[in-house]
Structure 1
Amino acid sequence: MPLYKFIEREFLEAFFRTGSLRLGTIYDFKDIVEHGVSRGDEAEGEHHLIRGIDGTVSISKDKYEPIISEIFRVEGEGKISLCNLSVVVPRRCQDGFIFCTSSIYNEQLFRKWNKENDLDACYEIINQIGFISAINKAIKDSATFFACSNVTYTEKQIDYQTPEANLHPAFTKVKDDYSWQHEHRIVWGARGPSGPLNPWIVYVPEAIQYCRPFAFLENGVITQAQNIRKHKKEI
């Protein structure tokens, strides 16, 4: 499956010249002042599960109830009865390094990113496995590959009985705010004990062979990279 990286043109050119890539961090993207409300998300790396109670549910020391027992603890012979309310609990992941792309390309999406963050270039990752393997090799002493997946877009509060409730929080985002992005993520964990993680510029020349410039947006006009190369050859 090809992936698409919408980016500033200067950084596209730097990648194809030196192999430079920016690995962000999950927690860093919580900073919406730094990244804006499209790239940033105050709830990055977390989601919330909800259990609604219609009627009455009781818990005791020996009776566990999903979600509810995470909030209320009963000892001895006591019992707690809850009725007609909703209980919400958070699910949060550890920080990690992250590389974000899109699982689709179309001109509408390109123009949206340009409007939101002035992104004016796009490259295609034509071999996802080769691309990830090259990065893994380059950072193997400092980080380990965790997972890659399309983001699943959910409600602000996820019903605890749905399949989405079991998803890793690094791969969920709120549907109403972010589903237009069609995001795909690659995530790595820090190797060994570490302090707070910071975004990381890595140089992976080996990754270049698995990518190609795809499109550019200038003065409101989108040009496919292959058309630019063809024009240069004709000249």
Structure 2
Amino acid sequence: MYKYTEKQFASQFFNMGRLRIGTLHNFRRTEHKRGIVDVDEGKKSVSHHIDVLHIADSQAPENDGNIDFRSLDAFQAVSLNNGSNILFKNVRLTKKIESQDFFVYSTSASRSRKTMREFEGADTCIEIFDPDNFYKLLTKPLNSITPVRFLGVKAVTYKNRSEEWNGVDSGTHPSLIKSTDYIPQFEVRAIWSPLVESTIEPVITAHCRLGEFCREIHL
């Protein structure tokens, strides 16, 4: 994994183990530099279109195999109770989904100058060659600030934030979606869920041993 940053921040990291852990919702703020700001971070919508759906009996067992029928409940569109002889025609169901806020530390799976140019001001590349121990250790100082649960390191999916319903669940979690404009970043993000119900903000944290699992590389 590769972290693209500015020389001054790389020096602080290797000298003191100092780094910044952001939050999902904070990425929406427009004051961030190019490559970081994303006003739609953590948001998506899911839709389903019903051409024609005739419900002779809402309690009939065969309804469970009908994706249109199941969508009415999934989208909380209407309560059928014991309804019968109901007709839906040319109906578009849509629901907006917003992720809870998470702590996020973003890196890239790509090692290249082209990728570094995606991040305004970045002139240094740090390789995390032992991510398991790096994130295990990083979780400790973060926990001392706010109790958290580490959810792992996950690759971002680049796609439209408007999805068609898959008939089962809400699809890709909104915290892992970026628009296709960001594809050259090849982002992977470490995610921590706060264990307290309060607003979270980015934090500056440090651990003197973090640098043991990283090295600066030249591109």
Partner of 2:184: 180
Partner residue, 2:116: 110
1:203 & 1:155 partners in 2: Cα distance?
36
Would you say the 8 A contact 2:2–2:128 is kept in 1?
yes
What are the ranges of 5 or more consecutive residues in structure 2 without an aligned counterpart?
Answer: none
Which stretches of structure 1, 4 residues or longer, exceed 6 Å deviation after superposition? none
Q: 1:75 deviation in Å?
A: 5.2
Equivalent positions of 1:16-27 (< 5 A) are 16-27=14-25
Structure 2 residue aligned with 1:50: 47
Structure 1 residue matching 2:191: 3-state secondary structure: strand
1:71-220 alignment runs, 5 A limit: 71-74=76-79, 76-78=81-83, 81-113=87-119, 117-141=120-144, 142=146, 143-161=148-166, 165-174=170-179, 176-191=180-195, 193-215=196-218
Counterpart for residue 232 of structure 1: none
Instruction: Tell me by how many angstroms 1:54 deviates.
Output: 2.9
Looking at structure 2, the residues matched to 41 and 23 of structure 1 have their Cα atoms a distance apart, in angstroms, of: 16
Q: Is the 8 A contact 2:156 2:176 kept in 1?
A: yes
**Aligned residues between the structures:** 208
Contact 1:145 / 1:187 at 8 angstroms: preserved in 2? yes
1:40 has 2:37 as partner? yes
Match of 2:209, SS state, is helix
Which structure has more relative contact order (CA 8 Å, sep 6+)? It is 2
| 3-state SS of 2:135 partner | helix
Q: What one-letter code is carried by the residue in structure 2 that aligns with 1:129?
A: D
Contact 2:54–2:88 at 8 Å: present in 1 too? yes
How far did 1:153 drift? 1.4
Find the counterpart in structure 1 of residue 7 from structure 2.
Answer: 9
Unpaired runs of 5+ residues, structure 1, are 216-223, 225-235
Conservation of the 8 A alpha-carbon contact between 1:91 and 1:169: yes
Note the aligned Cα RMSD (angstroms): 2.6
Q: CA deviation at 1:38?
A: 2.7
Q: Which amino acid aligns with 2:14?
A: F
Q: Which amino acid aligns with 1:203?
A: A
Among 22, 26, 29, which residue is 1:28 paired with? Answer: 26
Alignment check: 8 A CA contact 2:51 2:91 kept: yes
Going from structure 1 to structure 2, the CA distance change for 1:146 and 1:9 (only over 3 Å counts) comes to same
- The answer to whether the 8 Å contact 2:127/2:217 transfers is yes
> What letter is aligned with 2:188?
H
